[in-house]
Chain A
Amino acid sequence: MVAYRAGAPIRARAFLADVMRVAAALPQGRHVLNACSDRYRFTVAFAASLVANKVSLLPSTHTPEVIRQLTEFAPDVFCLTDDSRCQIDLPRVRFPDAMQPGEARGSPAADEQTVPWQPLQIEPERLAAYVFTSGSTGTPLPYKKTWGRLVNCVRFEAERLGLLDGRPHAIVGTVPPQHMYGFESTVLLALQSGNAFSAGRPFYPADVCSELGSVPQPRLLVSTPVHLRTLLAAGVHLPSADLVLSATAPLSQNLAREVEQRFETRLLEIYGSTETGQIASRRTAQTVEWQLFSGVRLASDGEQTWAEGGHVEQPTPMCDVLEITAQDRFLLHGRLSDLVNIAGKRSSLSYLNHQLNAIPGVADGAFFVREENESASSTGVTRVAALVVAPGLDAAAVTEQLRKRIDAVFLPRPLLFVDSLPRNDTGKLPHEALLSLAANAMKRA
């Protein structure tokens, strides 16, 4: 079994038939932007791309500017989508839905009997995907992911999560399959551990609960702090879960304990990076220390920390400040650089600044992260704000331009107009001066 749709199982045979059908329908062009929002269709499309020797592109957002940059990176890229209203500005190919995905299982027993099925054989060296981080120069940086490394990473994850005990686990995700965390922890995790994921991508709390309740136990909920907080606050009946995963942003110990109580479960937080994939987990309700996946080691020169070994293989620098506490454990002390991560979407302040300053009419501008307590809303999301010098423009015009360039979660709240930015002699913006100017501008607003 590979997946569930509305609680009904989709078996490996039907999945493989779908994969071969879609692989045969793919157009020319080596690079695929897989925009299918249904998790099953996404997975079929990903596997079909592998079979057809194509490479999936996994950027963290699909804004027009990012899409434009993708076409520079890979001029032959096309978009595979299951949404008739998809607006992505690339040659678009509809997911071939002649047969409802996964519904081959229900139809003629012939399919069940005659399609011989054996696991797909993909060489470990095969380039499967490019994952992108937002580079500070305004151009996303691609990272190569071979099939072998993707598989290794989630095999270590499956071992850590206890999914290899022979029982069939069902995985429900509130995170999209296009994000690295969702891709690894729902799609790949299920495929490589003999478990199954649920095809839907439930949004509202009531939808999440019904999706979770529709699959058999034992079951996993793969989620984020935002979604978990909303679920707990919504006043809906929560089905039990055997394990809850959280990643993309730090989870407070209080929230972790409440999740464990209300879902009668264990909650594991996952830590990783675009470059390394997932490398550690912790049971947040009980400890602040992260435990590395087996085989992975950390090394540090006092400032920079590298991960190596296990599925990471070569030494890879980490973007966070890590304190090594034991051979297989560490503490996480926040960002090393200017990365911002809002609800699983990653960007960097320098990327956002680059996009703001590229708008015609903007003379100068800078994004900044507001203090946690003043900007966190009831779902606990920290937003970014921006100061801008743009005498000829108004807030609506700047926002409209930004919306074309950056993901909506990074739109500044608020966007403050000022006469000039407090740059020092070297052109840098001291953080304190920026915050105090912002505080004044907010008072005036």
Chain B
Amino acid sequence: MSDKASPLRQPAPPADNAALQREVADLIVAALNLDVAAADIDPQAPLYGEGLGLDSIDILEIALVVSKQYGIQLRADSEENEQIFRSLRYLADYIATHRTK
């Protein structure tokens, strides 16, 4: 669906959202009962597939947490989906730009 706004078209937040990245990492680890410590998640590594190894059910679960915590309803086709979940850093940046609470 090319008429939807791509998350990448948003201006990248200038600040390194270290605190938000950590907060999101904590949420992910708690929501998914992951075996890793939040601090050990590489902010640059892919969340989906390789890297942290999340699958589509995990992504739905994270989407749920993100909607509750930050008031964002993710809307995406599969391409954008992969972009948002390209890394913890991308996800945190997306949240920083779109959060309503």
Contacts and interface: CB of A to CB of B under 8 A. Distances in A.
Given A234-B73, A378-B31, A413-B35, A205 B53 contact: no
A379 B31 CA distance: 10
A283 interface: no
A236 B73 contact: yes
Given A205-B63, A234-B64, A235-B67, A379 B76 contact: no
Interface stretch (A150-158, A254-262, A271-279, A403-411): A403-411
Nearest to A233: B64
B6 interface: no
Given A203-B78, A204-B74, A236-B73, A399 B53 contact: yes
A409 B60 contact: no
Contacts of A411: 53, 55
A445 interface: yes
Contacts of A235: 67-68
Contact of A234 (B33, B50, B56, B67): B67
Contact of B33 (A204, A207, A377): A377
B13 interface: no
Contacts of A203: 56, 60, 76-78, 81
Most chain-B CB neighbours within 10 Å: which of A37, A375, A378? A378
A247 to B, nearest CB: 16
A204 B73 contact: yes
A226 B57 CA distance: 8
A13 to B, nearest CB: 25
B92 to A, nearest CB: 18
B53 A403 contact: yes
Contacts of A375: 33
A230 interface: yes
Contact of B57 (A206, A210, A343, A403): A343
Interface in A196-232: 203-207, 210, 226-227, 230
Given A205-B73, A408-B55, A378 B60 contact: no
A264 to B, nearest CB: 21
A403 B46 CA distance: 15
A210 B56 CA distance: 20
A234 B68 CA distance: 7
Contacts of A413: 33-35
Given A203-B78, A377-B31, A414-B35, A408 B60 contact: no
A205 B31 CA distance: 17
Interface string B62-82: 011001100001111110010
Interface string A362-405: 00000000000001011101000000000000000001000100
B61 interface: yes
Given A204-B75, A399-B53, A445-B35, A379 B68 contact: no
Question: Which of B63, B64, B68 has the most chain A CB atoms inside 10 A of its CB?
Answer: B64
A415 B36 CA distance: 12
Contact of B60 (A210, A379, A414): A379
A400 B29 CA distance: 20
15 contacts: A37-B78, A203-B78, A204-B75, A205-B67, A206-B75, A226-B57, A226-B60, A230-B61, A233-B68, A378-B61, A379-B61, A403-B50, A403-B53, A408-B55, A445-B35
Interface of A: 37, 203-207, 210, 226-227, 230, 233-236, 342-343, 375, 377-379, 381, 399, 403, 408-409, 411, 413-415, 445
Given A203-B56, A206-B73, 15 more contacts: A203-B81, A205-B63, A206-B75, A230-B60, A230-B63, A230-B64, A236-B73, A375-B33, A377-B31, A377-B33, A379-B61, A399-B53, A403-B53, A409-B57, A413-B35
Interface of B: 31-35, 49-50, 53, 55-57, 60-61, 63-64, 67-68, 73-78, 81
